[in-house]
Amino acid sequence: MQEPDLESFQMSDLLDQDISPRQYQTGEVVEVEVIRLDDEGLVVDVGQKMEGLVPIQEMRSLEPGAHARIEPGQRINVTIMGERGPGGMALLSLDQALEDNRWQQLEQQLQEGAEVTARIVEQNRGGLVVDCQGVRGFVPFSHLAPIPGGATEEALAARMHEQAQFHILELDRSQQRLVLTERAIGQKRREEAQDQYLADLQEGTVLSGKVSSIRGFGAFVDVGEIEGLIPISELSWRMVKSPDEVVTVGDQLEVVVLRVERETRRLTLSLKRTQPEPWETVHDRYEIHQIVQGTVTNLAQFGAFVKLEDGIEGLIHISELSQRRVNNPKECVYQGQHVRVMILSIDSQQRRIGLSYKQAFGL
């Protein structure tokens, strides 16, 4: 604990006249002059040639060795304890006066909305216990700064003995109650870090990240200072009904930055664009008159769509289903059926492949 500056505890509203012992009020803070330090404690002049005693046990807030640096003639503040000591001297407390000053400082900082520094000393079921300027305080878990990936025992344990900045949330001196919060401070610092991160980030950059959560519309990925969203349409080149068909929470991914919205701190990512677009290399895998396997994905009045691979579908026109006249594709095939088809045409620009069911069997 930092050694208190005794000179900083002067009272601005002291009466001009000396204070008589008969005028003392228990708990009152008065300014006194140091006479000497002996084995019993600190002997001081309380006015009208009356002496008072600050026992050693009432100076525990001073660091070891600080007593020796208190010099005769020095003026300090003490609290009247309402008891008598050796020789009828009034018993005084330096510790209580320092604590009174600490509470006054905290009350002023609360009124000003100022930040206070506190040291984290322990953890309990509800939050963290801190030492705030010598006053014991409490920070509920709900008022801690956000921890990336959520609160963990390891992250909280790492904060023990940390000096951190807080705002005062509640203060009740009569109940010795001090509740602090760092949520707003943490959020502000996180936003500042995000702004700095996004300022230099360019579209097309490849980032590493971990899937933090999944929603029906896509997956959020933690890339360090910020989370970005992979829309469901950017998860795969194939049609995806649900993001969990492609990713799960905790997956480590390489993603491409699609869009950076600095004002709203939004980051849009793509997973599929880290992989070749299937239509760009379709001629490497397929050729005219080739017989291939596929799955019927949809039926339309004019034909049947067949999936050849993820992201690649072709169409069997109704005229290529059978040698006989067909009025509806369901007369020949059904959705989900595995079929053999012949490739009739490939148009990678228009992303179209023409297929024949009847010619695959030489019908």
- Alpha carbons 18 and 50: distance in angstroms, whole number: 10
In-domain check, residue 181: yes
Q: What is the model's pLDDT at position 11?
A: 39
Q: What is the model's pLDDT at position 151?
A: 53
Identify the weakest region by mean pLDDT among 30-44, 257-271, 300-314.
Answer: 30-44
Over residues 116-124, the mean pLDDT reads 91
228, 233, 234, 240 alpha-carbon torsion, rounded to 10°: 110
Local confidence band at 23 (pLDDT 50, 70, 90 cut-offs) = low
Identify the weakest region by mean pLDDT among 13-27, 63-77, 162-176, 330-344.
Answer: 13-27
215: number of Cβ within 10 Å: 10
Regarding whether 53 and 31 lie in a shared domain, the answer is: yes
In-domain check, residue 210: yes
State the pTM of this model. 0.52
In-domain check, residue 173: yes
Give the domain CATH number at 153. 2.40.50.140
In-domain check, residue 85: yes
In-domain check, residue 307: yes
Over residues 289-312, the mean pLDDT reads 93
The count of structural domains within the chain is: 4
Q: Are 278 and 313 in contact (CB under 8 A)?
A: no
Regarding whether 355 and 314 lie in a shared domain, the answer is: yes
59 DSSP assignment: -
In-domain check, residue 316: yes
Q: What is the model's pLDDT at position 156?
A: 84
pLDDT > 70? residue 291: yes
Q: What is the model's pLDDT at position 128?
A: 92
Q: What is the model's pLDDT at position 243?
A: 94
Q: Which of 34, 132, 39 is nearest to 92 (CA)?
A: 34
The amino acid that residue 9 corresponds to is F
- Over residues 244-275, the pLDDT tens digits come to 999 999 999 999 999 999 999 999 999 998 98
Q: Which of 17, 76, 72 is nearest to 48 (CA)?
A: 17
pLDDT > 70? residue 363: no
DSSP notation for 293-314 = EEEEEEEETTEEEEEEETTEEE
Bridge partners for 254 per DSSP: 208
Local confidence band at 13 (pLDDT 50, 70, 90 cut-offs) = very low
Q: What is the model's pLDDT at position 10?
A: 43
Domain boundary among 51, 71, 99: 99
pLDDT > 60? residue 21: no
Regarding whether 77 and 16 lie in a shared domain, the answer is: yes
Q: Are strands 266-270 and 252-261 parallel, antiparallel or unpaired?
A: antiparallel
In-domain check, residue 104: no
In-domain check, residue 346: yes
pLDDT > 70? residue 112: yes
pLDDT > 70? residue 53: yes
Ranges assigned E (strand) in 48-149: 50-55, 75-84, 90-93, 116-123, 127-132, 135-140
Rg (CA), the chain: 39
Choice between 13 and 175, residue whose per-residue pLDDT is larger: 175
Q: What is the model's pLDDT at position 7?
A: 44
Bridge partners for 122 per DSSP: 129
Q: Which two tokens stand for residue 159?
A: 């904060």
Choice between 150 and 305, residue whose per-residue pLDDT is larger: 305
Averaged pLDDT score across all residues of the chain: 85
- Over residues 55-98, the pLDDT tens digits come to 888 877 777 666 677 788 888 888 888 777 777 788 888 888 88
Report the run of H or E that residue 346 belongs to, with start and end. Answer: strand 338-347
Q: What is the model's pLDDT at position 310?
A: 84
